[in-house]
Amino acid sequence: MTTIPSAIYFKDLKSRFIRVNQALAKSFGQASPDDLVGKTDFDFFTQEHAQAAYEDEQRIIQTGTPILNLVEKETWPDRPPTWVATTKMPLRDEHGTIVGTFGLSTDITEQKRNEEQRAALELQLHQAQKLESIGRLAAGIAHEINTPTQYVSDNIHFIGKTLGDLEHVFAAYTGLLQWLRTQGPLPPELAALLAPAEKVRLDYLRREIPVAISDAEEGLARVTKIVRAMKNFSHPGQDTFTPVDLNQAIESTLTVSRNEWKYVAELVTDFDPQLPLIPCLPGEFNQVILNIVVNAAHAIADVVGFNTGKKGTISVSTRLDGNWVEIRIRDTGTGIPLHAQPHVFEQFYTTKQIGKGTGQGLALARAVIVDQHAGTLTFETQPAAGTTFIIRLPLQQTTPPNKEPRNETPPAR
């Protein structure tokens, strides 16, 4: 068994190791096969994985039915997961009585990682194509909305300006009416003509119409801001470095994503007004900001709940730091658990509930910032207190953007 590269083991009825080969000892981080004798999977794996393996073995012992060519994910308390293709069989004595189990496992971690990376690249390509389509659609919608909005805005502005002229007419009419009343009873014909006007609450209209126009102008200003943000956010088909006002780009992304955070968080921004234009891929950069802000909103929602009236805070700041620009996005959410921190930027890794995340957002964010922009993406976190993601981009780009991320697993941070 010492020369066989696959891991081989024999266990008793209580799933204790009674014999293993050198390959298995090495995979368990042990110097000698003897170091495993008498121990169980619970001494090496996480509780969850050890329990699943124990239940498999007990089922084999009870039924005599083997498990053949099972692809299994092994999780460890102190290192990244590994993958094996394993076969588990009942161990019988010379009388045919089951006295334990034995198995053979082949490490396929590298193969599995390559498959995941290929899947991630395919997903990223699909996401990029989908974002480009959405970007074109958003730009078109923004244009379609912008034209009638401009008509309405111009007309409301005209009404507001005209109302100022009408105010003089109202004042003259009121003055004339008051003078006529000082001259004695009005002739019946004149009183009949003025009767409808007497029923109109001119003072109320003169007070409320300007307020209504002001509210309409404010609402249109918000629509215009959202439309402008949609146009700035989309950037369909942009595949070359472009000088970008990062403050404006971030502001547009925050506007577009407002529905994600407005119910759970207050937004605080602190933008450096002296920030120069930074060369970047605007569409990809905006997507990174969106991913991190949405994650921040979800983390805060886990603390304050949704529609409870309670709110956390998302703080976004920019500053110049030598030859770099630094962007910080801080939330007052749950923070990142210690066990999850080494895996934050791994593809398909997520701590969110099913339906709330795919584990791609931060992996793609890192690919965009590090691989495509030669920048850095790190984080600071305190469990139960919040997390700050820190993006650093160089002021100058010397190489064309790498549209495909490096085919490697990001290092743990």
Angle at 385 between CA 380 and CA 386, to 5 degrees: 45
Q: From the options 3.40.630.30, 3.30.360.10, 3.30.565.10, 3.90.1010.10, give the CATH code of 238-413.
A: 3.30.565.10
Q: What is the pLDDT of residue 182?
A: 83
Angle at 51 between CA 53 and CA 39, to 5 degrees: 75
Distance CA 154, CA 217 (A): 10
Closest CA to 341 of 292, 377, 302, 380: 380
Closest CA to 58 of 104, 17, 13: 13
End-to-end CA distance of the chain: 39
204-228: string of b/e by CB count within 10 Å (b at 16+)? eeeeeeeeebeebeeebeeeeebbb
Distance CA 370, CA 289 (A): 14
Structure letter (DSSP) for residue 367: I
Distance CA 224, CA 252 (A): 12
How many Å separate Cα 410 from the centre of its chain? 18
Distance CA 405, CA 413 (A): 18
Closest CA to 330 of 274, 257, 382: 382
Distance CA 47, CA 41 (A): 9
Helix (H) or strand (E) holding 8: strand 7-12
Tokens 């009419």 belong to which residue? 173
Q: What is the pLDDT of residue 244?
A: 92
Report the number of secondary-structure helices (H) and strands (E) in the chain. 9, 12
Sign of torsion over alpha carbons 334, 340, 346, 347? negative
Structure letter (DSSP) for residue 398: -
Per DSSP, the residues of 101-129 read EEEEEEE-HHHHHHHHHHHHHHHHHHHHH
Closest CA to 368 of 252, 290, 261, 253: 290
Distance CA 119, CA 157 (A): 54
Predicted model pTM: 0.52
Q: Give the other-Cβ count within 10 Å of 135's Cβ.
A: 21
Kindly list the domain boundaries of the chain, sorted by start residue.
7-107, 111-237, 238-413
Q: Give the other-Cβ count within 10 Å of 40's Cβ.
A: 18
| Range 7-107: architecture per CATH | 2-Layer Sandwich (3.30)
Helix (H) or strand (E) holding 145: helix 109-182
Domain 238-413 in the same topology as domain 7-107: no
Mean pLDDT by 10 residues, the chain (413 residues): 81 96 93 94 95 95 94 91 94 94 94 81 66 62 72 84 80 80 81 74 79 84 72 60 93 87 94 94 88 92 85 96 96 90 74 51 86 93 92 83 45 35
Long-range interactions of 397-401: CB distance < 8 A, separation 24+ = 397/241, 397/279, 397/280, 397/373, 399/374, 400/240, 400/241, 401/239, 401/240, 401/241, 401/281, 401/372, 401/373
